[in-house]
Structure formats: structure tokens, C-alpha cells
Amino acid sequence: MTCAALVLVMTSWFSATAVLPALAAHWGLTAGDAAWLTIWVQIGFVAGALFASITGLPDIVSPRLVMGLSALLAALSNIALLWAPDAGFAYAARFVTGFALAGVYPPAMKLISTWFVHGRGTALGVVVGALTLGSASPHLIRALAVGPDWRAVITASTVCVAVGAFTMGVLVREGPFPFARASFDPAKLGAVLRDRPLLLANIGYFGHMWELYAMWGWFLAFAAAALPALGLVDAASASLLAFGVIASGLAGAVAGGLLADRIGRTATAAIMLALSGLCALTIGFAFDGPLWLLVAIGVLWGVTVIGDSAQFSAMATELADRSQVGAALALQLGLGFALTVVSIRLTPVVADWIGWRWTFLILVPGPVVGLIAMMLLRRHPGAVRIAHGLR
């Protein structure tokens, strides 16, 4: 139930990104200005996540209540795009959307964790798969929409979010293994930052995030630049390819969870980081085709770029003090998403300079840094707390 609701609510994340060319034309935006419609969601998420960390809200208030009210706010801010008189209003609405989603995703990770002691990696993999499918859905809505009107995508995604908000607020329940409630204590937030194993897990996550959202946010533009030379000139083809590549992450997230519960979280994360980094390094070679190769590398990238994400969250729940799990998750996510602001903004700048073919090379350092962090964490004595010693 939680995952189904998460799919619906997360359609608001890339609802504007999926129709970015139409919105840019509607408000007369340059490519750089249009990028801020995606970036302000990330900034809003960072602000919301850091607010949750500083106040300890996820550890004080019921996750179900936080998620339901936050999802409702996301629906309202998403539909506000229909009446935005200018880009400035739209940027503010997207900021609120991101802020609201910070009250959905981290609490969902914590809530799902209350249902599992063993198999938590697989469970959180399913949650990340739900986020992935929800994030990809606006591209599918755009590809299937009748006519070029961007309003249909915004309206459809808002309906999805509203249904998800009702589900989260009324039907979702915590599991039989709840984390301890906590009062706000800023000193303990410092302890989260000083815990070396948790720090290494976070560094791995930061490398992963440098790559993830820039790839998700700009793969549509990459596809739109590559496909005309391959005989596919309609916008629907690029949207379908973007949806297929991003949505393939659903399989990657679930497979990553299953693998982590068998060979260990750090090993699984290292494998995914190595493969996704390789895809970022090589997809430019398939820019001119053949089409099957472009699709194959894109899908492999979609699978592996998200396949490790849940494991970083799982590590945070296992390495952090139990009374600070919500704050630790929110801090990890908040700082990770802060990095995405830089990579998302930098990507179109590089594309203007060298073209889309080789732009994704700037994402390669992220998985490299993450891979090194996972190798160091695996050797650290404190890693015995991960997955009951499986690491």
C-alpha cells in the first residue's frame, strides 16, 4: 500500500521536467532558465530534508501523518503550475513541491523499515523502485497524451498525487518494529556526522546522487538530440525512451535489494556504482546508433544507477542510533540532494559547450567516489552493524 501510494505521489517530481520544452516556450525561457524548473524541486527537497533533520520531526511525529499532509501539499503546489503567471511563480511552486516531497520519501523509508528486521534491503529496494516508477511516469503520460498541451500532464500527475495523499494519510500503517520516538536534540545531529561508518555510507550516497538526478533529469534531452539521426523525429519517441530507461530502475532497485540481502550492502552498492559509472562513460559511443545499442546501454544505466540507492538508506537505518534514524535519513537525503543541484545545473552548460553526446562524462566522478567509499566501509570494523554482519 505504501509503495503504491509512493508511485502516485512521486509523479509530481518530474511533472514539469517531462514537458520542459513546452513550459520553456510558454514562459519564453532559455534552456538554462528552464533547467531551474527541475533544480527548484531539488532545492525544495534539500530545505525540507534539512528542516526535518534539524527539528527531528520524522522521529517525533507519526510518519503516516507527515506523509499524508506532505503529499497533499505536493498536489496543491503541482496543480498551481496551471495558473502560474510567470516563471518566478512556477519556480516557487516547484520549490514547495520539493519541500513537500521531503516529507514523503524519507518517512516512507523509515515506515517500511518498521515492517522488517530481516530482508530490509529488499523492502527498501521496493520503496526506491516505487519512487523510480513514479518519477518516470510523467514521461509516459507525455508520450501518451493527446496533443501537445502540457496542461494534461500536470493535471494527470496532480490527480495521481491527490490519490496517493489520501492513501498515505488514511490507509498506511506502521509495522510491528517501530523505532523509538525522540525529542529534538541538536547535539545528537553532530553525533550522526561524526560516526565514521555512517559518514562513509553517506559519501557513497553522495557519489551516487551526483550521477542519478542529472541522468534522470536530462536523459530526455539526450534522447531528443540522439534519436532524429536514427530516424525517430517525433517527441513521443524521446519521451518513451526516457520513460523506459528511468522506469527500468524499478527492476534495478528490487534486484539490488535482493542481491544486498544475499551478498551484502556494500558489495551490492559497489557493483551498481561500477556498472552505472561505466554506462555514463560509454553511452556517448552509442549516440549515433545503432538504436539497439543506445537502448541497451540506456536500460542498463537505468537499472544500475538506482539499484544501489536503497542500500545507502538501509545502511543509515542500521548504522545510526535507533532514536535518530529519521533524522539520519533526512540528513543523508538532504545533503545528497544538495549535490544534485550542482550536477543538474552543470549538465546543460556542458551540453551547450560540447554537445549532448559526451555531456554525461561529467557524471562519472560520482560513482567512482562512491565506489571507493564502499570499499573503505566494507573494511571498517563498524560495518558489522550492517545487515546483521553481512555488510
What value does the mean pLDDT of the chain take? 86
Q: Rounded to whole angstroms, how far apart are CA atoms 286 and 302?
A: 15
Q: Output the nine-digit C-alpha cell for 380.
A: 571498517
Cβ atoms within 10 Å of 289's Cβ, excluding its own: 13
- State the pLDDT at residue 40: 94
Average the pLDDT over 110-118 and give the result: 71
**Quick check: 157 and 77 in contact, CB under 8 A?**
no
pLDDT at 166 over 70: yes
Residue-by-residue DSSP string for 311-331: HHHHHHHHHS-GGGHHHHHHH
- State the pLDDT at residue 44: 93
| pLDDT category of residue 368 using cuts at 50, 70 and 90 | very high
pLDDT at 188 over 70: no
Enclosing domain of residue 366: 2-389
- State the pLDDT at residue 64: 79
Q: For position 261, which CATH number holds? A: 1.20.1250.20
CA angle 152, 154, 156 (to 5 degrees): 65
pLDDT at 1 over 80: no
- State the pLDDT at residue 388: 65
- State the pLDDT at residue 350: 95
- State the pLDDT at residue 141: 85
pLDDT at 86 over 80: yes
| pLDDT category of residue 142 using cuts at 50, 70 and 90 | confident
| Residue whose C-alpha cell reads 526506491 in the numeric block | 128
pLDDT, one tens digit per residue, over 294-322 is 999 999 999 999 999 888 888 887 887 76
Average the pLDDT over 237-249 and give the result: 93
Three-state SS at 41: helix
pLDDT at 389 over 70: no
pLDDT at 181 over 70: no
Overall number of domains in the chain: 1
Residues 6+ apart with CB under 8 A from 83: none
pLDDT at 184 over 60: no
pLDDT, one tens digit per residue, over 316-356 is 878 877 666 766 776 787 788 889 999 999 999 999 999 99
